[in-house]
Chains A and B, each alone.
Chain A
Amino acid sequence: QKEVEQDPGPLSVPEGAIVSLNCTYSNSAFQYFMWYRQYSRKGPELLMYTYSSGNKEDGRFTAQVDKSSKYISLFIRDSQPSDSATYLCAMNTLPQGGSEKLVFGKGMKLTVNP
């Protein structure tokens, strides 16, 4: 079993839809959970960052971590065409996880249609 699993999609939704992106993981030592967004022909950029379990909200974006199920989610409300991108989950351990130990999902390509 891979450490981090992410459905690669692609996912296509109409503008205004609620989008749910998910990752599962197997390493119970993961404590830091991130979502990166990557536009076409660009590098990934950090979108959301959470530590341990719970929810974190930033505008239309909500990151959710369920450590008991080893499952993380990113919700996008009122999705816009500008949200069309590839979304990568990433996670790391505590306390000694260096950047080189960051584990990425393969990414889910999202298209929001006007």
Chain B
Amino acid sequence: DVKVTQSSRYLVKRTGEKVFLECVQDMDHENMFWYRQDPGLGLRLIYFSYDVKMKEKGDIPEGYSVSREKKERFSLILESASTNQTSMYLCASSFVGTNEKLFFGSGTQLSVL
């Protein structure tokens, strides 16, 4: 089975802290994604990556950055956490050209106080 693992299920941080969310997939997928999910707003794409060291902005990249140093690992960085970044963060991965069967992790519920 494809496994997408997110390092933390719950995280509580203070405003202004730098926050790292880690995601690892074990199926050699080229594509990796970070979404956030908020009630009433659904899933929104933050960043995605088609390859190592490659990144592209999604719909809501402001306040976030990403890093993909290895194919299996995709990190989301909140440079200076703010309360409006309190959300459920979901990592996903897929093969190139499968149009578009995403495999999601279980999510990280981040609270910024």
Shortest CB–CB separation between residue A61 and chain B, in angstroms? 16
Closest to B97 in A: A98
Q: A32 contacts the other chain (Cβ, under 8 Å)?
A: yes
Taking CB as reference atom, which chain B residue is nearest A91? B100
B48 touches A100 (CB 8 A): yes
Report the nearest B residue to A102, measured CB to CB.
Answer: B100
Q: Given A41-B107, A43-B90, A99-B31, are A104 and B42 also a contact pair (CB < 8 Å)?
A: yes
In the complex, the answer to whether B99 meets A92 with C-beta atoms within 8 Å is yes
Contacts of A46 in B (CB 8 A): 101-103
Among candidates B42, B45, B101, B107, residue contacting A43 with C-beta atoms closer than 8 Å: B107
Give the A-B pair count, Cβ closer than 8 A: 66
Name the residue among B40, B42, B45, B98 with the largest chain A CB count within 10 angstroms. Answer: B42
* Complex-state Cα separation, A106 to B9, whole angstroms: 22
The contact string, 1 if C-beta is below 8 Å from chain A, for chain B 17-61, is 000000000000001010000001111010010100000101000
Q: Which residues of B contact A104 (CB under 8 A)?
A: 42-43
What 4 A-B pairs are tightest by C-beta distance, nearest first?
Answer: A43-B104, A106-B42, A99-B100, A104-B43
User: What are 25 sample pairs from A and B whose C-beta atoms fall under 8 A apart?
Assistant: A8-B40, A32-B99, A32-B100, A36-B102, A41-B107, A41-B109, A42-B106, A43-B90, A43-B104, A44-B90, A46-B103, A88-B42, A92-B99, A98-B99, A98-B100, A99-B33, A99-B92, A99-B94, A100-B45, A100-B48, A100-B56, A100-B58, A101-B100, A104-B42, A104-B43
A43-B92, A104-B42 known, 7 other contacts, Cβ within 8 Å: A34-B100, A43-B4, A43-B105, A44-B90, A44-B104, A88-B42, A92-B100
Residues on A lying within 8 angstroms of B by beta carbon are 8, 32, 34, 36, 41-46, 49, 88, 90, 92, 94, 97-102, 104-107
